[in-house]
Structure 1
């Protein structure tokens, strides 16, 4: 069975997204922040991760970098801050995220049901992603960590 790790500081979002994925036949693990997400990704080796951008402590963008440096996994970013072209989206993609979805913020016609349908569809696509694309994403995350002088996966950056 395909395993998905849902990382979001909102218990509501973890529950709604997790339940939608479980109904679609996925085994779901949950984490409430970026640091816990990194730990859970190492422990449960998910096939796909959904990741919120803004969380207390380690944010989703730093968590993506750490996960991709140690355990390359397709990661779907979810946030009101990840519209196409924003800095957060580009940063997450540069660090190895595979795709993104914009969470509804109540200002438009999209609602939580639209989001869960889109999450399931994107997770279906990412679960079928080739391992070679994950290796490429890992290389991108490692290169970013090296360029910025940040340690990834507990190892000092070299440069």
Structure 2
């Protein structure tokens, strides 16, 4: 009797779990369908970059996000000088930064990659200037635009 009861409970439990898994899969498909369905990745792949350099580039992008996080924390604490220093030192535009970014340029002719990278770094300079001038709200606005520039680049390019 115990064996039969155990078998019934086990079968019920297994089929219930399977049912939930099917429902979850179906729900996932419905959500994808509502959002326009699965699409292929149409971003430009940076194929000219060797694998070790891609790893380095991704690390640089994560470091940029760390700096944006540090800037946000400094602005939230109303430490505008610190926010300015982080922005200009770590993200600001310079000839050295231009050379760093040019290494990743896919076509060497001023494509959207260069335009977007330059815009992001120059927006960091605007953020720094606003913070240094004591304009916290303008610094936050520049940070929002800086993040938007990052997203625009990542919408167009991938590794």
Higher Rg? 2
Q: Judge same fold: TM > 0.5, yes or no.
A: no
Q: TM-score if structure 2 supplies the norm length?
A: 0.27
Q: TM-score if structure 1 supplies the norm length?
A: 0.27
Kindly indicate which of the two structures has a greater share of residues assigned to strand. 1
Kindly indicate which of the two structures has a greater share of residues assigned to helix. 2
Question: Relative CO higher for 1 or 2, CA cutoff 8 Å, sep ≥ 6?
Answer: 2
